[in-house]
Amino acid sequence: MTILDELADYAKKRVADAKKRVSLEEIKKQAYALPAGTFAFEQALKKPELSFICECKKASPSKGLIAPDFPYLAIAKEYEAAGADCISVLTEPKWFLGHDSYLKEIAGNVSIPCLRKDFTVDEYMIYEAKVLGASAVLLICSILCENQMKQYLRICDELGLSALVEAHDEAEVTRALNAGARIIGVNNRNLKDFSVDTKNSIRLREKIPSDVLFVSESGVKSAADVAKLRKMGADAVLVGETLMRAPDKKAKLKELKG
């Protein structure tokens, strides 16, 4: 079993537990009772220059504990003040030490769109994301079949949520496009063995039509990395660990932007 399989299996267990507390019917009712979203996440990525999605995460399976001290709300506000376009919030509790409450609090206190970064394995998690205040959810090709992606994208559309559809190779990009993805994130980290290769974004860029937003994820460490991705036509970059480890996040983001 790869770590990704374990993450997906654990997400299924989490959903089963959540359904005992709040039924699918109830969470669905709560989600649809809220005003429909305005697809704010994808709107934020459509500006002419490169957009920055800045991530709040305490830990990761590959790096272990990244931020022992984790004032997540202060970090999110610092990102917003530094000019981040969106914030990605980890809610996976076991390997990333995330929590749903982090997302709810951050989304309620910043004015920029928030992505719920989790391992979506059930429609329940999309309704949950809406109720928590997210503007977008993550759908990972490696753990979903094409029909699931189509179904989840349809639910997102009904709720006014954006979906960042993550692919790691050419076959996954094709499946994402077939499912109707409007935003494709190419993960430069192979979630099966955690190796990182930013050339992955460059290789797959030409496979993605210009009317589909292109996000490069993982392994963005320097202004030179950003410049390369800007040159090859990325619409946005998702930066996590590099910012989380920076003592001055505002200065680091300014440096990355070049």
Q: From the candidates 78, 92, 123, 217, which is the catalytic residue?
A: 217
Angle at 219 between CA 218 and CA 220, to 5 degrees: 95
CB of 181 closer than 8 Å to CB of 153 = yes
Residue 217 is a catalytic residue: yes
Which residue matches tokens 């930013």?
A: 198
Q: From the candidates 55, 80, 92, 172, which is the catalytic residue?
A: 55
Q: From the candidates 28, 80, 92, 117, which is the catalytic residue?
A: 117
In this structure, the number of other CB atoms found within 10 A of the CB of residue 172 comes to: 20
Structure token pair of residue 114: 């928030």
Residue 94 is a catalytic residue: no
Q: From the candidates 166, 172, 188, 241, which is the catalytic residue?
A: 166
Residue 117 is a catalytic residue: yes
Residue 109 is a catalytic residue: no
Residue 147 is a catalytic residue: no
Residue 218 is a catalytic residue: yes
Q: Name the residue among 247, 219, 218 with its Cα closest to residue 69.
A: 247
Which residue matches tokens 């649809």?
A: 32
Q: From the candidates 142, 218, 241, 252, which is the catalytic residue?
A: 218
Whole-angstrom distance, CA of residue 255 vs CA of residue 221:
10
Q: From the candidates 28, 42, 57, 200, which is the catalytic residue?
A: 57
Q: From the candidates 162, 187, 200, 216, which is the catalytic residue?
A: 187
CB of 217 closer than 8 Å to CB of 242 = no
Residue 25 is a catalytic residue: no
Whole-angstrom distance, CA of residue 99 vs CA of residue 235:
28
Residues designated as active site:
55, 57, 117, 166, 187, 217-218
